[in-house]
Amino acid sequence: MFYEPILVICIVLLGLMINSAIQLRKEIKQLAVALEKEKHKRSFPLLAFELDVEGRSLYVTNDSYCYAKKIAIQDFDLTLHMGFEKHLTLKFDTIDLLKPGKREKITFRVFDHGHEITSSDSPNLVYYFPDTKVTFHIRFENIEEDRFESLVINEGKEFIIKHTERLDDAGTPNPASPIKPRPSKPLIREKSL
């Protein structure tokens, strides 16, 4: 069989166009996935904790791209072992707004059997956090007023986000899948396109 040179050139060009279309479709699909990840990051505040033992401070940081507001840490009981057991209740002040990438010092009051004993020595309690199992339940909202709840525990000086869930209007977890656990200092690696 004899093929005309123009026909051969057309077949080669058609093959190149099909290959280019397939590559373009793959790139578009990767960009769509990256866009969904960015949208997710912009709508889910991700709060983490930092412990500064030397400065006797505990900070909440916003590791996401969106604002977090009405940050409320649930009060909890703390048992300290100082040669004897001391049972205290910590009550946290609400943080009105936390911008992306910023941190805010957490302020709290200390109670012993219902009596407030907050003093200038109360910040010294952060020395005991690495040795004591502490669980923080945090409720907060994004700027669109979607509500969330996080569970954060400490393992030594590091705080681990066990889960973050979106809450419905009644304040119960939404059936949407929660964010997976991770250390509070995330390593974000994105595949470059």
The tens digit of pLDDT for each residue in 85-112 reads 888 888 999 999 999 999 999 988 888 8
pLDDT digits (tens, 9 = 90+) for 125-167: 776 776 777 888 999 999 888 899 999 888 877 888 888 888 8
- Residue whose token pair is 């069989």: 1
Query: What is the predicted pLDDT for the residue at 176?
Result: 55
| pTM value > 0.75 | no
End-to-end Cα distance, the chain: 44
The answer to whether residues 148 and 167 touch, using CB atoms and an 8 Å cutoff, is: yes
11: pLDDT strictly greater than 50: yes
Instruction: Give the full edge-to-edge strand order of the sheet including 182-183.
Output: 95-98, 68-73, 135-142, 147-155, 158-167, 182-183
Q: 105 CB contacts (<8 Å, ≥6 apart)?
A: 57, 58, 59
Per residue, the 3-state secondary structure of 13-52, as one string, reads: HHHHHHHHHHHHHHHHHHHHHHHHHHHHHHHCCCEEEEEE
Burial (CB count within 10 angstroms: exposed 0-12, middle 13-18, buried 19+), residue 45:
buried
Mean pLDDT calculated for residue range 37-51? 80
Question: What is residue 160's three-state secondary structure?
Answer: strand
Helical (H) or strand (E) element with 8 = helix 5-43
Average pLDDT for residues 63-91, to the nearest whole number? Answer: 86
